[in-house]
Structure formats: structure tokens, C-alpha cells
Structure 1
Amino acid sequence: MDSAALRAVVVTGASAGIGEEFARQLAVSGHHLVLVARRLDRLEALASELKARHNIQALCIASDLARTDAAETLAAELEAKQVQVTGLVNNAGFGDRGSVQALPLQRQLDMIQVNVTSLVDLTWRLLPGLKAVPNSFVINVASTAAFQAGPNMAVYYASKAFVLSFSEALHEEVKGDGVAVSALCPGATDSEFASEANMTNTLLFKAGTMTPEAVVRKALDARRRAIVIPGLKNLLLVWMGKLSPRMITRRLAGWLQA
């Protein structure tokens, strides 16, 4: 990599919610950024604000990670722009509420592409560069949904279970290379996710949410842990689920999404 390369953290899904908050808190810490999402106008507005406030550089790349070639194209663009990636936040992802049969098939296949396939693809492509940088990190945004099956959100829950398992394994594989890998597992969070997933009226979200600020602060502070569960309530729910029969946890998950 050229000595003039921009050393930056890549944040996917950076146009709103947890991804936007990652960008904000990383900027406060002085990190240069590459902001990735479909909505370029939102990225550019955020980049302008962060550059003015924190004297950092922030590149914006419009990318739809539901496309099968998106990760390859994104990695090539980072190379073309001479970006030396020092961290990767795989935040892009979405869910939708409804039974497997009721939801459109393409919607569910796109969910797997964004939440799982593109995450693995992009991580694989950027990992060699991350190994060459001291104190580099990967944060994969999973969910407390990763710890049990989720009736009426079957594909979303399964995708996050993959992210959790993949991240734990990768954590062990690359920690000797100096790359910290963690799975961030937030519970209900006050962000666009709930409305996009048709979940604002569910018991899960009515029971209370965490702020993106608190979730991201915990994620960055604990990014050398394999699993990061922000919030005492979320931690207790996960541990209670581990102690309960899977039949009970999956029925409870379905009830919370009714």
C-alpha cells in the first residue's frame, strides 16, 4: 500500500441508526472513515458534518449489499481509492416480520445476501489488509436474536445466528495476527430497524429500547471480546435463554414478535 494511502475504518449501513452512530463515535476518536450504504445523499451529509466537526477525512461509497457482486466491487473501489483499512464494521443488515410463507421469497433471499453472504465476502476480501495493520478490528453486528430461533422472523434470526457463530470462530482464527473480531449482539434499539422490519408495535420494542449511542459505546469499548451484549437486560435475557429449553425460548421469541 502506498505511503499516501488513507488509513480508515469502513462502516457499512452507515446512513442511519447504529451504523451512523459508529461513524460518529469513531470520528470523535479521530478515525478516518469510509461510509457505505445505499443512500448516498445521507452519507454525504453525514460525512460533511463529521469532517467539519472532527477534522477527519470521510469517503462515501454508495453500495447495495443485496447485490451478489457488491462486496467485490466495494473492495475494488477501496483499493482504487488507496484506502488502507484499519477496521471494518459490518453493520448493514435488515429484518422483516412475518412467517416464511407470508414474506416474499426474494425479500428473504436478499436478507441472507446482506446479513450473511456480503458480510463474509467483504470480511474475506479485507482481512489480508487488516492483518497488516496494528490494532485492527472487525465488528460484526449480530443481535440477541442470534441466541434462539425466531418464529415470524425465521430467516432474520437464523442469519444473525450465523453472524455470531462466524464471528466467534474468526475471533479465534485471527487473534494471533493482531486482528480483534467481535460479534455485537444488541437487543431492541431505537433506530430505523424497527420500522423497516415492521416491529414498532411488537411487545419486544414496547418493552423498552437502548439508544444507538449506548450500544455503540459498549461495542467500541469491548471490541476485543468475541461477544459483546450491551445492556444488563439484554445480557440477562440471553443467559436466561441459555438455561431454558429451546422449545421455551423459541416460543417466547415468537410471542414477543406477535
Structure 2
Amino acid sequence: MKTALITGASAGIGETFAQELAQKQMNLVLVARSEEKLESLAQLLRSQFKIEVDIIVQDLTAPNAAKDVFDKVNQKGITIDLLVNNAGFGDYGDFAERDGEKQVKIVQVNILALVDLTHQFLPGMRDRRLGGIINMASSAAFQPMPYFSVYAASKAFVLSFSEALWAENRRYNVDILAVCPGPSPTSFFADAEFPSFLAKASELNSTPPEVIVKEALEALKNKHSSIVPGDIRNQVLVNIPRFLPREALVNLWKTILGTGVDKN
């Protein structure tokens, strides 16, 4: 039986990945900061699907976090067939006025931990000539977004990085996929401290986590390099940069997202 490791597995899209992969009879290694939430989910999945579920409590902003996760997996004698780099978060507001430590932590989780975890597990997949890695990017990856600058930039990195690795690793039978969802009804907007009216507007155009996960797994199966899950509205969103000059694009997003700065 194959095993998947999922970061940010205690809630939202990560939890949905865990449920969907458990239903497909994959054993799981669940990684997140909350031991209570992880253990509750693990017990539910063990009972419902009769699979093995291990948990690793880990803050991915900690020094050597990815190496610690890798070492714990090896100590358990587990081979990871699918890595889902799902952990990530954002922050809304004027960059210069937001908490600087939080901005650095966004980069640590969204980029550094993702790169390090990929580098820890990818060589083994290449040696076995079998494996897959799903990196969660975002529709924000396709354009700079004032007042959401660090998050959007971090996801642009994830998209570019993942597509490059997709090309590098095809000959090793290792599939790499960047998933670029639009808004989804999770706690993301509240955690990022979006004003309520902007969060509600985004949720009107949201894609359920179940749809995102199912489409992501199908895209991985079909060996795609990236996917924008959901309906046509998300496709329109990510293709706007094709038709606008970059300065006009940035000013458009400044107008849209900047409405919350004055009202916040």
C-alpha cells in the first residue's frame, strides 16, 4: 500500500487531501502544528478506512523543520510515494505596516519549507523511478497583488519551481504538479486578516476543497505540470495578465484589494 505525506493536514484543503487519499486506500503521514487536531483526524481515518496513519507535529518555520520531518519518516521506516506540500498562509495589508516577522514566516512556510521538503523526498522517488509531488500554489501566482504582496509572490515562486521540476523529472517517472486554486471556503481569509467584506466577496467565487483535491489528483494522474481547478471564472482570473500591461494589472489589483485598507 502506498503512503502520502501531507503538510498543513489538520484543516482545510490539507484535511480534504487526507480524506480523499484515505478513501483511495493510501496510508498517510499527516504534518501540522496542532497535535490535537492531527490525532483526531488520524483516529477518524484509521477507523473509517482501515489504513495506517502517522502524525508528525511540526512547525515548518522552525530551523531544520523539513529535515526533522524527513528523519522522523525514516525512523518510522516509511517510504513516501506522494508528497503534498499544502501548508501555507498569507497576510492582508500594506506590506510596510504589517508585522515583519509574519512576512518572513510566510516565506519560510510557503517557499523554504516546500523547497526543502521537496529536496528531502525527491531523490528517493527518482531512485525508485516512482513518485509524485503536489505543490499548492494559487491563482495569485499569476500576477502581483498589492496588499497581498508576499503571499502572491511566494505562490509565483511555487508555480515556476514546480513546472521546472515537472520537466526535470519526467524521465524518472516522478510527477510534479502545481495546483493553483482560486478562493476556497476555508479559514484562509480570516487567518490572513482580510476585511470581512473582501473575504465574503471572495467566497462568492469560491471552489469547494473537495473539487480542488479531486481535480488535482486527476491532473497528477494525467501527468500535467499545473492546474487551475474550479470553473471558468478561475481561468479568466489567471489569464488577465495576458491582456493587460503589467502596470495596468498591478493598478487594477491595487484598486480591488486596496478598498479594504481604508476600511480596515
Deviations for 1:101-126, whole angstroms, at most 9, x for unmatched residues?
A: 11111100011000000100110011
Q: CA deviation at 1:10?
A: 0.4
Taking the aligned partners of 1:195 and 1:131, their CA distance within structure 2 comes to 39
Q: CA deviation at 1:198?
A: 1.6
- Indicate the percent of aligned positions where both proteins have the same amino acid: 39
Taking the aligned partners of 1:253 and 1:50, their CA distance within structure 2 comes to 41
Q: Which residue of structure 2 aligns with residue 251 of structure 1?
A: 251
Deviations for 1:140-161, whole angstroms, at most 9, x for unmatched residues?
A: 0000000010100111111001
Q: Which amino acid aligns with 1:212?
A: P
Deviations for 1:183-221, whole angstroms, at most 9, x for unmatched residues?
A: 000001111111101224316515421110011111111
CA gap 1:206/1:84 in 2 versus in 1, 3 angstroms: closer
Equivalences for residues 170-249 of structure 1 within 5 A:
170-199=165-194, 200-202=196-198, 204-223=201-220, 224-231=223-230, 232-249=232-249
Q: 2:42 aligns with which of 47, 56, 62?
A: 47
Structure 2 SS opposite 1:180: strand
Q: Which amino acid aligns with 1:227?
A: S
Q: 1:63 aligns with which of 58, 63, 71?
A: 58
Structure 1 SS opposite 2:182: coil
Deviations for 1:87-140, whole angstroms, at most 9, x for unmatched residues?
A: 000000000101111111110001100000010011001111222445411000
CA gap 1:43/1:248 in 2 versus in 1, 3 angstroms: same
Q: CA deviation at 1:8?
A: 1.2
Structure 2 SS opposite 1:222: helix
Structure 2 SS opposite 1:83: coil
Taking the aligned partners of 2:204 and 2:217, their CA distance within structure 1 comes to 26
Q: Which residue of structure 1 aligns with residue 107 of structure 2?
A: 112
Q: Does 96-105 or 193-202 show the bigger shift?
A: 193-202
Q: CA deviation at 1:248?
A: 2.5
Taking the aligned partners of 2:19 and 2:103, their CA distance within structure 1 comes to 30
CA gap 1:7/1:195 in 2 versus in 1, 3 angstroms: same
Q: Does 14-23 or 229-238 show the bigger shift?
A: 229-238
How well do the aligned residues superpose, as a CA RMSD in angstroms? 1.4
Q: Which residue of structure 1 aligns with residue 262 of structure 2?
A: none
Contact 2:135–2:177, Cα closer than 8 Å, also in 1: yes
Is 1:122 equivalent to 2:117 in the alignment?
yes
Deviations for 1:217-236, whole angstroms, at most 9, x for unmatched residues?
A: 11111012111100221012
CA gap 1:117/1:36 in 2 versus in 1, 3 angstroms: same
TM-score scaled to structure 1, two decimals?
0.94
> Which aligned segments of 4 or more residues in structure 1 are displaced greater than 3 angstroms?
132-135
Structure 2 SS opposite 1:89: strand
Q: Which amino acid aligns with 2:216?
A: A
Equivalences for residues 8-19 of structure 1 within 5 A:
8-19=3-14
Structure that is richer in helix per residue: 2
Q: Which residue of structure 1 aligns with residue 138 of structure 2?
A: 143
Contact 1:202–1:256, Cα closer than 8 Å, also in 2: no
Gap runs ≥5 in structure 1: 1-5
Give the length in aligned residue pairs.
253
Q: CA deviation at 1:12?
A: 0.2
Q: CA deviation at 1:245?
A: 1.5
Taking the aligned partners of 2:71 and 2:34, their CA distance within structure 1 comes to 20
Contact 1:68–1:113, Cα closer than 8 Å, also in 2: no
Taking the aligned partners of 1:135 and 1:254, their CA distance within structure 2 comes to 44
